[in-house]
């Protein structure tokens, strides 16, 4: 028997994946330039610099970066990531069980349209309501370096790791 998965169940596009799994906590954040160990576990207002290199990422807004995750303390915080892959996923959840946080994603500064993942609509709107992996981008076209942005419209989201496919 041959199984040919498509759509959501399609295998990772390894030929076009140039972005690694990226942890957002302080213990494994070597690629997070503005992070200093003195900020671990402390609320801090981050300002995202321009992303110029592939796999650069940045926080923007008031975040508390812990050892294994980062928690948004104030509404309208963002994460930016310059990536190269067909799919972009983010493992995240509400910091307080039973709550939810609305978000909006952009790719290259635009609504994702046909490049939206299963957890967002074509306008890039979604909601975090449990801790799990959220598929935010699934590009149907030629894969190139892209700039991803997610803005959380309320505080209280906890983010763990970006994965790609």
Which residue range is the domain that position 80 belongs to?
13-34+42-150
* Res 26: pLDDT: 82
In a domain, 157, yes or no: no
Strand partners, 146: 83
| 23 bridge partner residues | 161
pLDDT at 143: 95
**pLDDT values of the chain reduced to their tens digit, one per residue, 165 residues:** 443 445 445 677 777 789 999 999 986 665 565 556 678 899 999 999 888 899 999 999 999 999 999 999 999 999 999 999 999 999 999 999 999 999 999 999 999 999 999 999 999 999 999 999 999 999 998 899 999 999 999 999 999 999 999
Q: What is the pTM of this model?
A: 0.89
Query: How many contiguous H segments (helices) and E segments (strands) does the chain have?
Result: 0, 11
Q: How many domains does the chain have?
A: 1
- The answer to whether residue 4 is domain-embedded is no
Residue 164 lies in a domain: no
Give me the CATH number covering residue 23: 2.60.120.260
Which is nearest to 151 in space by CA: 111, 112, 109, 102?
102
156 lies in some domain: no
> Which residues are 101's β-sheet partners?
128
Tell me, yes or no, whether 6 lies in a domain. no
Q: State the Cα–Cα distance between residues 53 and 56, nearest whole angstrom.
A: 6
């Amino acid at each position: 028997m041959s199984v040919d998965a498509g759509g959501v169940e399609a295998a990772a596009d390894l030929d076009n994946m140039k972005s690694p799994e990226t942890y957002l906590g302080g213990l494994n954040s070597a690629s997070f330039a503005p992070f200093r160990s003195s900020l671990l576990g402390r609320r801090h207002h981050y300002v995202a610099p321009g992303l110029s290199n592939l796999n650069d990422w940045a926080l923007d807004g008031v975040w508390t970066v812990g050892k294994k995750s980062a928690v948004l303390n104030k509404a309208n915080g963002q994460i930016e990531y310059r990536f190269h892959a067909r799919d972009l996923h983010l493992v995240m959840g509400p910091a307080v069980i039973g709550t939810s946080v609305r978000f909006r994603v952009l790719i290259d500064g635009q609504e994702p349209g046909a490049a939206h993942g299963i957890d967002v609509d074509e306008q890039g709107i979604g909601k975090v309501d449990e801790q799990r992996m959220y598929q935010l981008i699934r590009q149907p076209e030629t894969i190139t370096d892209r700039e991803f942005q997610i803005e959380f419209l309320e505080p209280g989201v906890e983010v763990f790791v970006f994965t790609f496919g």
